[in-house]
């Protein structure tokens, strides 16, 4: 290797530069967000754990059924009926988009497109 005096230090600098975020944060992603929960919460559609991990799939299913299939009916979960609606079901209890939705979405660097069509509730 004719340029090993340049290649090896260059690789070391490259690896250090790429791993700066890990070294800077010491491998810690920070504290998990604690969104503001409603005080007079009715029962949610699913359990808290299921909603944390799968609310996006549930909302996408509802969107597809309502907009593509025209099914604006209700769903029954554990004997209770819920409308397939972000605004009429979810935002009825979780009234603050800023304090509830944005808290976790900002932490996860997720930009949901719900609010491209829906009007965010007045804070």
Which pLDDT tens digit goes with each residue over 47-104?
888 998 999 999 999 999 999 999 988 988 888 899 999 988 898 888 889 999 999 9
Taking 90 as the threshold, does the pLDDT of residue 38 lie above it?
no
Helix (H) / strand (E) element for 59: namely helix 48-63
Supply the pLDDT for residue 16.
Answer: 92
Q: Is residue 60 part of a domain?
A: no
Taking 70 as the threshold, does the pLDDT of residue 27 lie above it?
no
The region that residue 110 occupies, defined by phi over 0 for left and psi between -120 and 50 for alpha, beta otherwise, is: beta
Q: Is residue 98 part of a domain?
A: yes
Domain of 102 in residue numbering reads as 94-123
Q: How many domains does the chain have?
A: 1
Supply the pLDDT for residue 1.
Answer: 60
Q: Is residue 117 part of a domain?
A: yes
Determine the distance from the C-alpha atom of residue 61 to the mean position of all C-alpha atoms in its chain, rounded to a whole number. 16
Supply the pLDDT for residue 121.
Answer: 79
pTM (two decimals): 0.69
CA angle 61, 93, 56 (to 5 degrees): 25
Question: Residue 76: helix, strand or coil by DSSP?
Answer: strand
CA angle 4, 21, 56 (to 5 degrees): 130
The contacts of residue 74 (CB under 8 Å, 6+ apart) are 81, 82, 83, 84
Taking 80 as the threshold, does the pLDDT of residue 41 lie above it?
no
Q: Is residue 75 part of a domain?
A: no
Place of tokens 């090993």: 4
């Amino acid at each position: 290797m004719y340029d090993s005096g340049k290649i090896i230090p260059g690789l070391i600098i490259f690896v250090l530069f790429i791993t700066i975020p890990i070294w800077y944060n010491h491998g810690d992603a920070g504290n998990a967000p604690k969104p503001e929960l409603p005080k007079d919460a009715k029962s949610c559609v699913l359990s808290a754990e299921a909603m944390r991990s799968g609310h996006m799939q549930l909302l996408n299913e509802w969107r597809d059924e309502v907009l593509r299939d025209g099914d604006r009916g209700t769903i029954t979960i554990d004997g209770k009926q819920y409308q397939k609606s972000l605004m009429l079901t979810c935002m009825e209890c979780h009234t603050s988009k800023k304090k509830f939705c944005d808290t976790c979405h900002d932490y996860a660097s997720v930009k949901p497109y719900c609010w491209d069509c829906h009007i965010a509730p007045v804070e």
